[in-house]
Every structure is written in structure tokens, then in C-alpha cells.
Structure 1
Amino acid sequence: MSVGIKDVARVASVSAATVSRVLSGRNVDPAMRERVLAAVHSTGYRPNLAARRLRSRHSNTIGLIVADIRNPFFTAVSRAIEDLAYARGMRVILCNTDEDPARETMYLQLMQEERVTGVILAPTRQGLTRIARTKPDYPMVLIDRVAPGIAHDCVVLDNMTMAGLLVEHLHERGFRRIAGLFGASSSTGAERRAGFEAAAQRLDLAAEAIPVPHGDGEVVEIMNDLLGRPDRPQALVASNGVTLLAVLRALHRHGLSVPDDIALAGFDNEGWMDIVGTGAGGGLSVIEQPVEEIGRTAMAMLIDRLDHPDGAARKVVLAGRLISRGPSTSFSPVTGR
């Protein structure tokens, strides 16, 4: 039979309430504390963590809910947050919504039931509307995605500026026909698309922004269409690492190389990107996102929110860094293609 608090109390000749106070770390007479701890040892009592969570306001656990764990950005940010949480003696529950609002709702309910200390969330686009209308029992920090009217702390990239920087980078290297593939299920994709279109209009480029539903299959269809045109794009921009890899695979299937046949640029900086493109024109240029800083900032905001629950919501906007592996300025795709 399992040993309960009442069994410990009987062995120690104290009340069950006293045993509970000792186990929760509250002030108890030192001699009585020793008696209770000795009884715990002799009976082999083990606390019921689920019951403790029900009695406690927090579980010292962080809920981390991301939209697509396959995305290198979310993988890297999750690692950064977990490292910081571990250093603070906190645990992390990691959930992946796969851009599904129903799964997102389920996981947010799970966090409520688990009485987590707080949640760091990369919301779905539809989820942003619901989040704007509700206020959970735990503090929440949004990462990567946000919308007007959201009363939660958030950490985001300056997506419009960074997307525009990629367009300018390609323009400086002589590219005039550019197509961009942007996620259709997130506010991040919408912001990057807006930045892409604004920069293309400013530079008077023949640019096309294409929304991509969640999934690699749609990328294949889009690429088949783009590459089958007589005036196919000279350069492509992908709005995240997953799409970037899907585009590269499609180019390979069509027998095209980067950058000799077509230039490619995008977001996220993964190790494999160093080996893409060995021609004279250079390789794959990307916006490297400050994943460590995003993780540190999100954790710091969450901890601070626990201490100051009634303060105004804060928004931190971070800049990325252009990693230029693109064609040199002497390469002229305008005349060469």
C-alpha cells in the first residue's frame, strides 16, 4: 500500500498539516522538522507531484508552444529557452501545434491544467485573434508572431525591414526578376511579404510575392509553375528555413544549381547552407535571426512578469543579420540571363 501524509504524521506524532508545512518548505520548529523528515525517511513516503500542483499556484514549469518544430528557427529558439530554464531550475513542456489552431487550443488548456509558471508561445495566425480576447491564469510571452491589440509581452524580429534587406541585396547584385514565397499561416509570413513588396516597388523590380500554405507539397507546385515560365525568376526569396529547403530541393529536381542558374535567399542560417552554391557567383544569402537573444529576452520578460503582473505589455523588436553569400558585384544576371 502507498504511504500518505497521514501515515507520516502518525509516525512523527504530529498533525498532517504540520507534515504538509514541512514538505512545502514553510517555517516549522527545527526539532519538529527533524521528526517529520525522519518519519518521511522511515516510511518511504514520496510526495504526489500532481496533488502538489493542485495545491500550489505554480509548478515551476514553463510551457513552450511552437508552431512548427521542423522549422530551424523554432528548433534553435526552443533549445535556447530550455537551456535558460534549466539553468534557473525550471522544467519545460514543449508542444508543437503544426500551425493547427485546434491543437494550439488543446495545448493552452493543458498548460492551464498543469498550472504552469508561464507560457512562451509562437501562436498560429488564427490563434492571435483568440489570444486577444482572453486572459489566461498564467503570464504569457509571445515570440515571432504578434498582432495589434495583443495585451501580452512579445519578442519579434523586424520582419519587414529584414525582408526588404534581402530584396536590396539581390538588387545590388543585378537581379531584376524576383519571386518570393511567404508563409500564409502566420503574421510573420505576412510581414515579410509586405517588406518584400515594399522594397520591390521602391526599387522598381519585376517581383511576385506568392503565399505558401503550410506544407512542402504546395512549394513543389509553385516551383513547377515558376520554373516552367519562359521569363522565370532570376532570384527567389523564401520566408523561412523549411520553405528554403523545399525550394532548393525543387531546383535540384529541375536540374538547376544555385547561384549559377538561379539565385536563392531567405531566412535562418543553418550549417548546411554553407555548402550551397559553389559557382563563381557565390552561394546562399540569408537573414540570420538572433535566436539566443530571442530566447533570453522571452525568458527574462516571463520572469519579470511574475514579479510585476500588472505592468503594461511590452514589445521587443530585434534585428537580424544579413549573411551574404550571394553573387559578387561583378556578376551581372541582367545581361547574363
Structure 2
Amino acid sequence: MATIQDVARHAKVSIATVSRVLNGTAHVNPEVVTRVRAAIEALNYQPSRAARLLRANHSSIIGLLISDIQNPFFTTLIRGVEDVAHRNGYSLILCNSDENPQKEQQSIEVLCAERVAGVLVVPTREQPHILQPFHQHHIPVVAVDRRIKDASTDVILIDNQRGVYDAILHLHTNGYRRIGIISGPKTVTTGRERLEGYRQALKDVGLPRDPQLERNGTFKQEDGYQLTQELLDVQPPIDALFVGNNVMTIGALEAITARGLRIPDDIALVGFDEMPWAALSAISLTTVTQPVYELGSTAALRLFQRLQQPETCSRQEIMLAPTLCIRGSSRPPEPEHSACEEMTSHR
């Protein structure tokens, strides 16, 4: 691919002259202009998008950096962001960190190089230095789904503690007493907050905390399978299991099925995140359902507020409420029905 240096050599002029011809920012001898344009055509030179944006001093593109593109949760989140971006005349660049801090940093560098107008980030860590490149380039940032320790960054969240708290309360009300949990990594706030909600619920209903019943995974299916196997070996056995995200719940279902156990006859199961098949499969699954589309659209709206009124926007933390969808997987065997109940805080 030809560069501006190649064009300059071909036309026998300086790089600055090529730049002036491209930008039209200064008078250039018509014969030189003709020569430069001929070189551009001959070499099929395409100015970089970053250079064009630099000249225009604005961009109609926003970036979205998510943590796991294979997770269906993010499909809905992306749609919420993209719909708002489209209504505002913006396009979207999507990056995936795959929960890898090094890959996350590379994606941040790409977004800065593209001089995007603003960025939405699902961070892999809480440390504020992650966002420093955006601040250095004066690119507005909104954190989504996970907290970050940056006093200047807006954050749009789901009330994770509340979601798990009410799910455990529901299990206790239905008679379950040995309730295990598979939560996410403690390095991200979603993992820690869901574990905190579980522990607080046990405390409030008078159940002792048993560290044997707690596991932390990576939000991946294989961890859901492996950690469920571990919890099924605990004695006395668990009679219910809460799983901290949709992908790990699939792994948990595989592990329970592999043991020949029946849901809910042998073990009750509740997952965090709705799945399209949750109410349709042979095992109708109780879930803590997040307003994922609203999470993405709210984050995008907040970013556009920052773009339109950068001097008047003070930091905001917006927390959305989840919904507990009660189905057959968390009940004693009886005629099943489904009732999605808006959760109310018991704290």
C-alpha cells in the first residue's frame, strides 16, 4: 500500500507539498498540483482515515470496547449502542478484549489512532490508568457494566448485588438451604458484587456462610462446567446453585446433566442473565434478567451528552434494576408457570 512518502518521491516533491495538495490549505503551483495528483492516481494512494479526521478536526465514529464477543449478552448491548449512534448520525467501531488486558490496551491504541469522537468501554480491570490514553487525546469515555476507579468517568451499571440478593432470597423462601454460587472473577466488579449479594442474602436470612459453597470463575462455559462439578462433590451436598452469568450457566447445566441429576428435583438452579431458550427448554430456567439493551442505549446517550455539552456535564453513575424471572428450575416439582417479577430491594 502506497504511503505519502511514496507519492512525494514519485512526484519529486516534499511530503509537505503533498500534504498541502491533499489538504488544499495553501497555494501550490498548478504544475506541481498536476504532478502530485498524477502520482496519487498512479500509486492508488489512499489517505488514512486518521489523517482525514485530523484535518477535519472531528469524527462521526464512536468506539465500543467489549470484553467477550462470544457472550450473547454483548450482542444485545451492541444493538442498544448502535441504534443510538445511528440516530445521531454516527458509526460504530467494535473492539473485543476477550478479557485480556494486553489485547484491551492494543484496542485502546487503535481507537485513539482512529481519533474516534468518543468511546464506551467494558473494562477488564478497575485501574484508572487503562483510560489514560483516551484522556490524553481528549476523547470522552463512558464505562459500561463494570466500575472503574476514575473520578471523571461516567459509568452505567446493573445493580448486581440486588439481583443476586433477591435470587438467593427466592431460593431460601422455596426451602433451599445449601445454596452454592459460581461467581465471576474477583478482579472485576461484576464478579465481586454478585458474590457480595449472595453473602448478604445468606446473612439476612440466617444461613451460615460456608466457603466450600463459593467458587469464582472466568465467566466462561468451561469454568461453569468444572466449578459445578466441584460443588456437586461437596458434602453435605448442595440443594441449589446460583450461577453468575449466562455462559457459565450453560456449563453448569452440562455438568448437572452429566451427573444424571434432575432440575429441580435433585438440585435447583438460577442463572444470572436471560437466555432466549430459558423459558422454552425442557428445564425452564429461573434467571436474573438484565435490561441489556437499555444498558447499551443509556451508555450511548450519556456519551452523546458529553459530546454535545462537554463543559457542562458532571460525572454520573447510573444504575439500572434487574428483573427476577421465576420459572421451574427453582421450585419444588409442581405445575410450572412463569412470572417475571420486578424486584424490590429487601435491604
TM-score bucket of the superposed structures, by smaller chain: 0.7 to 0.9
Amino acid at match of 2:292: V
| Matching residue of 1:158 | 159
Note if contact 2:167-2:288 (Cα within 8 Å) is conserved in structure 1: yes
- In the alignment, the residues of structure 2 paired with residue 198 and residue 252 of structure 1 have an alpha-carbon distance, to the nearest angstrom, of 30
Any idea what the Cα deviations from partners look like across 1:22-62, whole Å, max 9, x if unmatched?
A: xxxxxxxxxxxxxxxxxxxxx9x998452312323332111
Helix, strand or coil: the match of 1:274?
coil
Aligned pair 1:209/2:208, yes or no? no
Q: What is the CA–CA distance in structure 1 between the aligned matches of 2:330 and 2:76, rounded to whole Å? A: 30
Aligned to 1:313: 315
- SS of corresponding position for 1:286: strand
Other-structure match for 1:122: 122
1:225 corresponds to which residue?
A: 230
Partner of 2:109 in structure 1? 109
The aligned amino acid for 2:294 is E
* Moved beyond 4 Å, runs of 4+: 16-21, 327-332
Q: Deviations over 1:212-246 (max 9, x none)?
A: 13543333332222112342211111111111111
The answer on whether the counterparts of 1:288 and 1:323 sit within 8 Å (CA) in structure 2 is yes
Task: Pick closer, same or farther for the CA change 1:193–1:131 going to 2, 3 Å.
Answer: same
Shift of 1:330: 6.5
| Structure 1 residue 20: Cα displacement | 4.7
Q: What amino acid sits opposite 2:314 in the alignment?
A: A
The one-character-per-residue Cα deviations of 1:52-83 (angstroms, maximum 9, x if unpaired) are: 12323332111100111222222210122122
> Does structure 2 retain, via aligned residues, the 8 Å contact 1:177–1:206?
no
Structure 1: state its 5+ residue gaps. Answer: 5-15, 22-42, 333-337
Secondary structure in structure 2 of the residue aligned to 1:130: helix
- Quote the offset at 1:17 in angstroms: 8.0
Aligned to 1:171: 172
1:247 and 2:257 correspond: no
| Greater CA drift, 110-119 or 221-230 | 221-230
Partner SS, residue 127 of structure 2: helix
Report how far residue 329 of structure 1 moved.
6.8
- Paired with 1:307 and 1:220, the residues of 2 have a C-alpha distance of 46
In structure 1, what residue type is equivalent to 2:180? A
Q: Is the 8 A contact 1:120 1:143 kept in 2?
A: yes
Contact 2:165 2:197 in 1 (8 A): yes
Alpha-carbon offset, residue 149 of structure 1: 4.1
**Stretches of structure 2 lacking an aligned partner (at least 5 in a row):** 8-19, 26-40, 335-347
Q: Give the corresponding residue for 2:202.
A: 200
Change (3 A) 1:258 1:206: farther
Residue 62 (structure 1) aligns with: 62
1:131/1:201 CA distance change after superposition, 3 Å: same
| Superposed displacement of residue 328, structure 1 | 7.7
Distance 2:280 2:265 in 1: 14
SS for the counterpart of 1:213 is coil
Between stretches 317-326 and 213-222, larger displacement belongs to: 213-222
RMSD: 3.0
Q: Between the two proteins, what is the percent identity of the paired residues?
A: 33
TM-score, with structure 2 as normaliser: 0.76
Contact 1:84-1:299 within 8 A present in 2 as well:
yes
Instruction: Report the secondary structure of 2:171's partner residue.
Output: helix
